[in-house]
Structure 1
Amino acid sequence: MEDYLEKIYELMHEKGYARVSDIASSLDVQPSSVTKMLQKLDENHYVTYEKYRGILLTARGQRLGKLMKERHHMLEEFLRMLGVSEETIHKDVEGIEHHVSPHTLQCLQALVLFFDDHPESLNDLHAYTEQFEMGSPTDTEGKSV
């Protein structure tokens, strides 16, 4: 459900509208699956959906769609900061975003903001990661950990 709301929110901001066919191709699902989900989203007051007429996000759907998009972006940024390859980021974010508690997401957001405000700490993390990948990391006194 969250993937659909995120995609509808994204399409509405990019194109000004979202169609069943656009959602289906973006999420790589059948149009019939999109229609079923739109009916559920309508029942739960996230969208207003009328077959052949269009899709509108309700205020509730707008808020949740925006939250899903922001969460997705934050997780992408976090993985980029860690040096994860771009081709891996998309796959990993899709797996992470639906299996992490809201509290953990808040903590990750705080870490992303911390690294944005303290780039020297991010540089230290990258240096540490390089050491780790080359062998065992060392503590601050040069001893192996």
Structure 2
Amino acid sequence: MTKSEVGARTVLPDAEQQAVNFKRVREAHQSEVAEDYVELIADLINTTGEARAVDIARRLGVAHATAVKTVARLQREGLVSSQPYRSVFLTEKGQELAARSKRRHETVVNFLRAIGISDKTAQRDAEGIEHHVSDETLAAFERVIRAKQR
């Protein structure tokens, strides 16, 4: 580090606000998996008529055992229902979360496209962004999308 780099001080945000920001990120991380699973389950049901653990695992790039374990957790959380060796179904609560997640995903993808990001990159980047943006930011994304469509 140079002397000027050492002398330059970073101004930290207010401690309470910083703690709130980090807590929000931790909460988003905790809900990411559930959102990804229910969104995928809804897509599988809508396109193939069923959501099997093997298909969930393959599409999420996880081991079958991981998918089964996560589906069991989602079942305990009241988001899905399933029986051994049967398809996975969304509960009403799961359907609501899936629809909300899908809308967020589509908004982020459309925003990224609107600012010139390729479709492939927009789809990939949206998978992380969608879980972390606030409703305020999503509303701003939607305003940009509408402005670009005019």
* Cα offset, 1:63, TM superposition: 1.1
Distance 1:112 1:64 in 2: 23
Q: Cα deviation per residue 1:34-92 (whole Å; 9 max; x = unaligned)?
A: 11111111011110121212211111101111111121111111111111022321221
Match of 1:35 among 68, 78, 85: 68
Partner of 1:6: 39
| Helix, strand or coil at the partner of 2:81 | strand
- In the other structure, the counterpart of 2:103 is 70
Which secondary structure state, in structure 2, belongs to the residue aligned with residue 48 of structure 1?
A: strand
Q: Which of 80, 83, 95 is the equivalent residue of 1:47? A: 80
Task: Look up the SS of the partner of 2:102 in the other structure.
Answer: helix
Partners of 2:109 and 2:93 in 1: how far apart? 24
Q: What is the CA-CA distance between 1:108 and the residue it aligns to? A: 1.7
Contact conserved, 2:52 with 2:86, CA < 8 A, in 1?
no
Task: Tell me the residue number matched to 1:111.
Answer: 144
Tell me the equivalent position of 1:97.
130
> Matched residue of 2:88: which SS?
strand
Cα-Cα RMSD: 1.4
Give the share of equivalent positions with the same residue, in percent.
Answer: 38
Higher relative CO (Cα under 8 Å, sequence separation at least 6) belongs to 2
Structure 2 residue runs without a partner (length 5+): 1-33
- Within 1, Cα distance between the matches of 2:63 and 2:135? 30
State the TM-score, normalizing by the size of structure 2.
0.72
SS state at 2:78 partner: coil
Structure 1: where are the runs of 5+ without partners? 120-145
Query: Secondary structure of 1:62's match?
Result: helix
What CA distance in whole angstroms lies between the structure 2 residues aligned with 1:113 and 1:39?
Answer: 40
CA deviation profile, 1:6-56 (whole Å, cap 9, x unmatched): 100110111111001111111111111111111111011110121212211
2:10 aligned residue: none
